[in-house]
Amino acid sequence: MSLKKYLLIMTSATLLSWVAWLVVLFYINPDDSGMVGYSLFYISLLVALVGTFSLVGFFGRVWFSREQVIFRHLGVSTRQSVWFSVLLVGSLLLQGTGYLKWWSLLFFIMLLTLLEFFFISRKVIHRQ
C-alpha cells in the first residue's frame, strides 16, 4: 500500500470516528442505554484519538526529521498514539468511576512508559 493511500484511509477513518463519537455524545442517553452507551462513548473516543494522534505524530516526525525513509515513522507514531490515547481515555474512565487519584494516574503512566521502553528495546535488539 502506498503512503498516500494509507494516509487517505487513516484520515477518512479518523474523521468517521470523530463523527461516530459526536453521534454517541449527542444522541445516546447513558441513563437509558446503560453499559452499551458508555462503551460506545469510550471506544469511539479511543479510536478517534488514536487516529488523530497518529496522524499528528506522523506529520510532526516527517516535518522535523531528516530521514529519507518516512515509512519508519508510521509504526512509532501509531504505537505512541495508542499509548497516549489509552492514557487519556483510561483517565476519563477512572474519573467517571471515581477511582482517579494521583497515585493511580502515576502508576498508569509508569505502566505505559514501561511498555514503550519494552518496544524500544525490542527494536534495538533486532537491529543488532
Q: Cell numbers 474523521 label which residue?
A: 15
**pLDDT tens per residue, range 95-108:** 999 999 999 999 99
Would the pLDDT of 2 be above 70? yes
pLDDT of residue 126: 65
Interatomic CA distance for residues 92 and 107, integer angstroms: 15
**pLDDT tens per residue, range 3-35:** 899 999 999 999 999 999 999 999 999 889 999
- Max CA distance (Å), the chain: 56
Q: Using 50, 70 and 90 to split pLDDT, how confident is the model at 77?
A: very high
Residue ranges covered by each domain of the chain? 3-127
Would the pLDDT of 127 be above 70? no
Nine-digit cell string for 51: 487516529
pLDDT of residue 128: 57
- Look up the pTM and report it: 0.89
Phi-psi label, residue 98: left if phi above 0, alpha if psi -120 to 50, beta otherwise: left
**pLDDT tens per residue, range 59-69:** 998 888 877 77
Residue 68 gets which letter from DSSP?
S
**pLDDT tens per residue, range 29-58:** 988 999 999 999 999 999 999 999 999 999
